[in-house]
Structure 1
Amino acid sequence: MPKLKVRKSAKKRYKLIKGKKFVRQKAFKGHLLEKKCSKRKRNLSSRVIVNQSDTKAIKKMLVC
């Protein structure tokens, strides 16, 4: 059976932190930033812990 490959897109999007949890960036900060207020842009810059229900799928993508 062939070796499983890591999904490169998932590797770029998620980072594993101490408590076996994944961290991700928030969406909607890629473009059209002129019409978004500073407070909203600042809030979108922060990182978020991925929901527990999604961690199994992410682990499978990253072959942890």
Structure 2
Amino acid sequence: AYSTKEILWDRLDETNDKIKVLNEKGKAAERQIGAILKELVEWEKNRNSPKDVTEERENDVN
């Protein structure tokens, strides 16, 4: 028979394992957010480049 102490240690180990999984998921999500933000910054840079401004002016005239 399991003692209360053994049961509690098992629960602690299980909870610790769950935390490790959540931490990995969190790190993966942070990497995804970083990649998305990087793409947005690039998009903004390209959108505000002089070439785009000229094209927009030409489109406004036409």
TM-score > 0.5, shorter chain as reference: no
**Larger C-alpha radius of gyration, 1 or 2?**
2
Query: Which structure carries more relative contact order (alpha carbon 8 Å, separation 6+)?
Result: 1
TM-score for both structures, normalised by structure 2: 0.28
More strand by share: 1
* TM-score, normalisation: structure 1: 0.28
